[in-house]
Chains A and B, each alone.
Chain A
Amino acid sequence: METPLTAKIRPDGEMIDLAAYERAGGYQAARQAMQMAPADIVEVVKKSGLRGRGGAGFPTGQKWSFVPSGPDSARPKYLVANGDEMEPGTFKDRVLLEGDPHELVEGMIISARAIGAERGYVFLRGEYTDAGERIERALHEAKSEGYLGQNIFGSGADFDLRLHMSGGRYMCGEETGLLNALEGKRANPRAKPPFPQVSGLFGKPTIVQNIETLCNIPHIVEKGPEWFQKLSLTGDAGTKLYGASGKVKKPGCWELPMGTTMRELLEKHAGGMQDGVQFRGALPGGASTDFLTADHLDVPMDFTAVAKAGSRLGTGTMIVLDDKTCPVGMVWNLEHFFAQESCGWCTPCWSGLHWAEEILAAIEAGRGSTEHLARLDHICKMIAPGNTFCALAPGAAEPLQSALKYFPEDFERHIREKRCPWRDGR
């Protein structure tokens, strides 16, 4: 089983430095890409079938092809690595950022070449201080070798890459909110269209890409699209960093073929549920995905199949709910997060999530009513995709609406018994 993304990561947790990275074959792909025509790189990535790993799964090559090219197009163009990773339950990009920052740098060099970007930023969440230091080091090493800066690899192209540490907000992960944050503004989202590919950072053409997505690029360029397709067990290409957290025996993050089932993740890699607790459900790909239940354990974890099962692959890091944990409390915790992170721009989000949080707190504390349940349903409708300005609130709706669907009895019991049945037992 190949694990291209994580193969170079040292078991001792230290970062792999430039020399070791190059000894292991690093920066070969970048050299190779510098000899390729940008359009050809885009073509290779398109053919590979790589879909964005940040949660939405948009085909990467296709996104790149929207960047205007040609001598008259606006300059400079920007490439931004989205290392915000603030989605609760998600801890996959950190593995790559801390373990192999050069892989990201190399991926960005190639991607910048493909879209004609002269400037790049790694947008990193403020709490990732270790990753920040390591990226700085990798940038420094790469710069001193001439891999970054002017005329990189003798190609005549310039690429200036900087690290930006975030001030901290979930909205910074949303690509247009991220652009505003990079411009030193409030991370409110921007209207689309115009898409960032046309008018993005500082009004210039910009590509924003997830860390894991970018780390795939060197391997695709080096080994080819067919190889990449074959890594997967299903139609969605490549490997995927999967994770599991919650009351499992061995929580962790693993690079596995795309399409690995939830059951395999849970039972084989996470070592099954902890003693004394039973699996009740999971958010398959982070806080903003719908619950799946034991009925869905054999769903292959790829974009297509998880969507068919009524949820989203999201970030591929699942959060497990067990039978000793209160689903109402868990959803309250989630909605507290979303309400707190609402940027306050659009009404359904700032009002709906605040209201939902109040209701969930009330139900959890035994102060809820059936009218409250109707309100929660209504709020889910109000914040459905398209109704809000950005995807934060629809993401918030996912765990809520699915919990109401799969665990109605738990909500009703709280209301009936005027208390949380788990409160003292947990």
Chain B
Amino acid sequence: MIRIFVDGKPYDIDPKKNLLDACLGHGLDLPYFCWHPALGSVGACRQCAVKIFRDEKDTRGRIMMACMTAPAPNMIVSIADPEVRDFRAGIVEGLMMSHPHDCPVCDEGGQCHLQDMTVMTGHNYRRYDFPKRTFRNQDLGPLLNHEMNRCIQCYRCTRFYTEYAGGKDFSVSKLRNLVYFGRIEDGAFESEFSGNLDEVCPTGVFTDKTAKQHYTRKWDLTFAPSVCPHCALGCNISPGERYGTLRRVVNRYNGEINGYFLCDRGRFGYEHVNSGRRIPAPRARKDSQTAEISKTEALDRFSTLAAAGKLIGVGSPRASLESNFALRALVGPENFYAGVSDAEHKLLGEMLAILREGPAPASLREIELADAALVLGEDVTNVAPRLALTLRQSVRQLLFDNAEKIGVPLWQDHAIRELAQKDHGPLFIASPYSTKLDDVATETRRAAPDDIARLGFAVAHILDPAAPDVPGLADDVRAQAERIAQTLKASARPAIVSGVSTLNVAVVRAAADVARALAMAGKQVSFALAMEESNSLGLAMLDPKPLGQAFAAASRGEAQAIVVLENDLYRRAPAAAVDAFLGSARVVVLDSLESPTVQKAELVLPSTPFSEADGTLVSSEGRAQRFFRVYPPAGEIQDAWHWLRDVLGLLARPEGLSWSKLDDVVEGIARAVPALARIRDAAPGAGFRIAGAKIPRAPHRFSGRTSMLAQIAVSEPKPPEDPDSPLSFTMEGAPVEPPASLLPFFWTGGWNSIQSVNKFQEEIAGPLRGGDAGVKLIEPAAAPPSYRNSVPAAFTPRQGEWLLVSRHHIFGSEELSAQSPAIAQLSPQPYVALGAEDAAALGAASGASVEVKLEAAAARLPLRIEPGLPRGVAALPAGFGPLAGIPLPLWGRIELTR
């Protein structure tokens, strides 16, 4: 820490930060554009000018850009100096020279950094009296609007898109005041992180196209602290609602997880909530007729069913702990089954065991600091997208070390990139097919899952001979393992990443063994296992039984009824098996959207999607996070655990009587499952108050509350109550900042845009004040773990058969987001992929129609040629297409259709 003086007041700051960062960190209002906490300084906009004085005697001072200035002890700085204020006003005036001043029709209006900075600098009259430059806009696909006339040339968009996120299909063209940011031609962005441009752009050049369909100003949105439901990373989000529909999702900073950025699935997947496939009311099938019924009747039927005999409960990896636990309570733990395929269930169980024994799971922040990384068998971009963006940054860590050696501060973003050129730190990726991170990989290996595991075990053995050896390893694989091991050995903070992509236990074990070997060698290892759904790990922690056993029990006729919680079983098992299962007993389904499983139900109970629900999720990092409803569900829709509680009540079971609010269920879980005891601390309970008041979900400028429903009634309706949380649905409530887990949105005086997050952090880009949201449930184990002796045999291709593996797609593979129109547009068509050699051997060209025959099913699909796919391995898309429900890998035949 050093001391500097700003306008006469002393401030203690970290000398490694630039002066702008230091000033903002102390809450000082200094305007800026091109600087971004995650993108560093490039000194382009010249907005952050301050005066620096040589010493007390210096009265003239020198104008300098704070973002490009390294602070020095006792530095004398002025933000208020009239000359530099005039300069800053001049900068905004320059930026706004050709700006259309179209705030009334601009989607950024009211949450615009340019508006904020313009007000802050005092510029309010356009003196430029010549023609403005105008641009043609591009159609950038279903996610973002493009309005180049609003551009202020801060270069943040290209810096984020190409430099930070590694996107290729975007750039800056032309020069002077005519600089243009766009693609070479109209078309959808290729990067999975393009949506961040909406927040990175300080004005309205890039705005959310999905939100435009039902646009609402920030001040008229009601927000809630929420967690992304579209993968297991648990990125924090702020969804916003008005008039009972979800309008958009923006990033909610969490220093340990998503930081400043989300993936496009997380940002644009929300519209399944507004889908026409929502289940609006309870319904029941009488004879062959289906009809809506009242809540009372629904509960009546449900309780009658439940009282009549044994129930089988199928849980859900996308439902909250509370809903899953309520189901477990209803059916009894011995009848509670995992709502995932048996293969995934086994793998998740193994993952949970590994994480508990250690290495413990790392946060994205920890992984970002890794100086070497091995990705074993995981398609990170498509399964856990935000983690891919993190790995792109970790490959730069080594370069930061080099830069520091020659005295270049880490915030000097372009200087570091120029010094590093195309160099990057070590990243090794083994996967059956190409991945989006390959462009920053030091080496890649294309291999079948078992061979990927063998490579991993070989690395572990080289690192620590006590780890099992791999017999019969090919020379080139051994040499590569040797290179990987030596590189990891030379690193200080290696990251090891694996996950569910290959659905192969050995791969995950191998990754764990590598991490263990490194930990034994004293390395600070970051370990991560990617999982698919928002509560995959949470469900596993409730210790359900495998779904296959449910099928078996039902086929023995043991069950009176099957209760399926928020799950489409046709995604989990072959259709015939699911048909048989659901045909063997009476079926109750609780879900928010129509699905093939819902179609089979005799009784359908509409439950809430994430934006209308409260609950707790456990991320793949073992972090329990609470999410809160943005608005109350309509009609008789309610949280699944509410339905289940109500039935338990009718059955006079104790839970049904004692669970009056979410906290009670949380308490029930904490008592029943010791591993989940800490979920109590995931967020303050419903009784939490600040100065006696609840926390408002709506911003203080929320307008028209008393007239919003004036077409229905002129009297102001009573605001809805929320017994489950300490949040209110209106703008009334505590004016001060709540704990991070209860922060619905970022907004402070003068800072209306999302950049206001600066004002909520302990230090810029650090944790939110009071600590980031969530509690870690899995702590590093005390005893050093042992290695697993489970090296698989080498993969041998079969004559006339292929090992079919599944391949995830960020857009399309995940159930909920795939039902959002914008995401659906970006989803690929079903296919089967073969390597170039295998396709040639089959005599099939790209696009040819082929027949894929599995034991359980067969389908005709167009052929895709994936040059790198190993011989004997074929890939099918995960989660969609005619064979989506069949858990892979499996052996199957592929034939050219005539």
A30 to chain B, nearest CB (A): 31
Which residues does chain B contribute within 8 Å of A346, judged by CB atoms? Answer: 43-46
Given A382-B90, A388-B46: A340 touches B176 (CB 8 Å cut-off)? yes
User: What is the CA–CA distance of A340 and B95 in the complex, to the nearest angstrom?
Assistant: 17
User: In the complex the two chains form, is B43's CB within 8 Å of A344's CB?
Assistant: no
A386 proximal to B (CB < 8 A): yes
- In the complex, which residue of chain B has the Cβ closest to the Cβ of A374? B127
B622 to chain A, nearest CB (A): 40
Which residues does chain B contribute within 8 Å of A407, judged by CB atoms? Answer: none
User: In the complex the two chains form, is A193's CB within 8 Å of B407's CB?
Assistant: yes
User: In the complex the two chains form, is B130's CB within 8 Å of A378's CB?
Assistant: no
Which residues does chain B contribute within 8 Å of A194, judged by CB atoms? Answer: 406-408, 412, 415, 419
A419 proximal to B (CB < 8 A): no
B354 proximal to A (CB < 8 A): no
Which residues does chain B contribute within 8 Å of A387, judged by CB atoms? Answer: 46, 49, 63, 87
B75 proximal to A (CB < 8 A): no
B177 proximal to A (CB < 8 A): yes
Closest 9 CB pairs of A and B: A351-B94, A358-B130, A344-B179, A344-B175, A203-B419, A342-B176, A354-B177, A199-B419, A350-B177
User: What is the CA–CA distance of A348 and B177 in the complex, to the nearest angstrom?
Assistant: 10
Contacting B46 at CB < 8 Å: which of A169, A190, A339, A347?
A: A347
- In the complex, which residue of chain B has the Cβ closest to the Cβ of A372? B129
A387 to chain B, nearest CB (A): 6
User: In the complex the two chains form, is A350's CB within 8 Å of B153's CB?
Assistant: yes
B128 to chain A, nearest CB (A): 6
User: In the complex the two chains form, is B63's CB within 8 Å of A386's CB?
Assistant: yes
A352 proximal to B (CB < 8 A): yes
B31 to chain A, nearest CB (A): 12
User: What is the CA–CA distance of A8 and B178 in the complex, to the nearest angstrom?
Assistant: 46
B29 to chain A, nearest CB (A): 19
A191 proximal to B (CB < 8 A): yes
B68 proximal to A (CB < 8 A): yes
Contacting B90 at CB < 8 Å: which of A198, A341, A348, A350?
A: A348
User: What is the CA–CA distance of A353 and B177 in the complex, to the nearest angstrom?
Assistant: 9
Given A194-B407, A342-B177, A350-B153: A389 touches B415 (CB 8 Å cut-off)? no
B644 to chain A, nearest CB (A): 59
- For B179, B407, B408, B418, the residue with the greatest tally of chain A CB atoms inside 10 Å of its CB is B418
Binding site for B on A (CB under 8 A): 169, 186, 190-191, 193-194, 198-199, 202-203, 339-348, 350-355, 358-359, 362, 371, 375, 378, 381-382, 386-389
B310 proximal to A (CB < 8 A): no
Which residues does chain B contribute within 8 Å of A341, judged by CB atoms? Answer: 176
B62 proximal to A (CB < 8 A): yes
Contacting B97 at CB < 8 Å: which of A340, A354, A386?
A: A354
Say which size band chain B's interface belongs to.
35 or more
Contacting B176 at CB < 8 Å: which of A198, A203, A343, A362?
A: A343
Given contacts A344-B175, A371-B127, 5 further A-B contacts (CB under 8 A): A190-B415, A202-B421, A347-B44, A348-B91, A351-B95
A50 to chain B, nearest CB (A): 27
User: In the complex the two chains form, is A344's CB within 8 Å of B406's CB?
Assistant: no
Q: Mark B413-425, 1 if CB is under 8 A from A, else 0.
A: 0110011110000
User: In the complex the two chains form, is A203's CB within 8 Å of B420's CB?
Assistant: yes
Which residues does chain B contribute within 8 Å of A378, judged by CB atoms? Answer: 90
User: What is the CA–CA distance of A202 and B178 in the complex, to the nearest angstrom?
Assistant: 28
User: What is the CA–CA distance of A378 and B128 in the complex, to the nearest angstrom?
Assistant: 13
Contacting A382 at CB < 8 Å: which of B45, B94, B152, B420?
A: B94
- In the complex, which residue of chain A has the Cβ closest to the Cβ of B94? A351
B47 proximal to A (CB < 8 A): yes
A335 to chain B, nearest CB (A): 12
Which residues does chain B contribute within 8 Å of A354, judged by CB atoms? Answer: 97, 176-177
Which residues does chain A contribute within 8 Å of B407, judged by CB atoms? Answer: 193-194
B321 proximal to A (CB < 8 A): no
- In the complex, which residue of chain B has the Cβ closest to the Cβ of A375? B127
User: In the complex the two chains form, is A343's CB within 8 Å of B421's CB?
Assistant: no
User: What is the CA–CA distance of A375 and B97 in the complex, to the nearest angstrom?
Assistant: 13
A178 to chain B, nearest CB (A): 13
Which residues does chain B contribute within 8 Å of A347, judged by CB atoms? Answer: 44-47, 91, 94-95, 152-153
- What are 11 A-to-B residue pairs whose CB atoms are below 8 Å? A191-B415, A194-B406, A199-B419, A341-B176, A342-B176, A345-B44, A353-B176, A355-B94, A355-B97, A355-B130, A387-B87
User: What is the CA–CA distance of A345 and B156 in the complex, to the nearest angstrom?
Assistant: 12
Q: Mark B629-658, 1 if CB is under 8 A from A, else 0.
A: 000000000000000000000000000000
User: What is the CA–CA distance of A411 and B217 in the complex, to the nearest angstrom?
Assistant: 48
User: What is the CA–CA distance of A353 and B93 in the complex, to the nearest angstrom?
Assistant: 13
Q: Mark B218-232, 1 if CB is under 8 A from A, else 0.
A: 000000000000000
